[in-house]
A and B are shown apart, each in its own frame.
Chain A
Amino acid sequence: EAEVAQSPRYKITEKSQAVAFWCDPISGHATLYWYRQILGQGPELLVQFQDESVVDDSQLPKDRFSAERLKGVDSTLKIQPAELGDSAMYLCASSDRDREGTEAFFGQGTRLTVV
């Protein structure tokens, strides 16, 4: 069964260090989302791609966060420098752009702890 792959599953980093997360969506899915989920809250959209283009990054803290999807397939989310408040689960999801109403499929997420 096709699934969204994310790595690493867990990451511990010191504040002020750089950290990167990788996501490989389901094959053929043009839409890719990065969400941040703080414990006890719902997922918050950070950035949305359609193929290789960013269509929404209004909630992305651009002074420290960056995201790319160069070939319109896999994607990388980077934080530099990491801050204590960045500790959260980072979820990647993908969906089939051409079918409105199809669900977004989520990866297992990367649990980030900044110390």
Chain B
Amino acid sequence: GQNIDQPTEMTATEGAIVQINCTYQTSGFNGLFWYQQHAGEAPTFLSYNVLDGLEEKGRFSSFLSRSKGYSYLLLKELQMKDSASYLCAVSRVYKLSFGAGTTVTVRA
């Protein structure tokens, strides 16, 4: 099995930076995904990390440390449309398991 932990909620101001942490314990780890989910909608893919280090994609970056069982998603230059739930998901042998999600609220 696996335990995937991430904070429940975070609030930040428009234009700011927010870092969402995710810790996991699992066997057979392959990689880690981050998904964004707006209220009432389906999750959409943001990033995938398989090797240690930082992956940057526009305003969003994701980091992975396999030895520490730790990842974070960094959202820069926050916009109102970034208000959503952010899901950390662990991949092992093609099985995808999700954390409970972190609800990010962006304030003007």
Contacts and interface: CB of A to CB of B under 8 A. Distances in A.
Interface of A: 31, 33, 35, 40-45, 48, 50, 55-56, 91, 93, 95, 97, 100-101, 103-109, 111
> Can you list the 7 inter-chain pairs with the closest CB atoms, starting with the nearest?
A42-B98, A106-B42, A103-B45, A42-B100, A43-B98, A42-B101, A106-B43
A102 to B, nearest CB: 8
Contacts of A48: 94-95
B100 A97 contact: no
Interface string B26-54: 00001101000000111111001010000
Interface of B: 4, 30-31, 33, 40-45, 48, 50, 87, 91, 94-101
Contacts of B40: 111
Contacts of B100: 40-42
Q: Which of B42, B95, B96 has the most CB of A within 10 A?
A: B42
Contacts of B96: 33, 45, 93, 95, 104
Nearest to B92: A100
A95 B94 contact: yes
Contacts of A106: 42-44
Nearest to B42: A106
Interface centre among B50, B87, B95, B99 (most CB of A within 10 A): B95
Contacts of B101: 41-42
21 contacts: A42-B4, A42-B100, A43-B98, A44-B98, A50-B94, A56-B95, A91-B43, A93-B96, A95-B96, A97-B94, A100-B91, A100-B94, A101-B30, A101-B31, A101-B50, A103-B45, A103-B48, A104-B96, A108-B41, A109-B42, A111-B40
Contacts of A55: 94
Of B50, B94, B95, B99, most buried by chain A (CB within 10 Å of CB) is B94
Given A33-B96, A101-B31, A106-B42, 14 more contacts: A31-B94, A42-B4, A42-B100, A43-B87, A45-B96, A55-B94, A91-B43, A95-B96, A97-B94, A100-B30, A101-B91, A104-B33, A106-B43, A106-B44
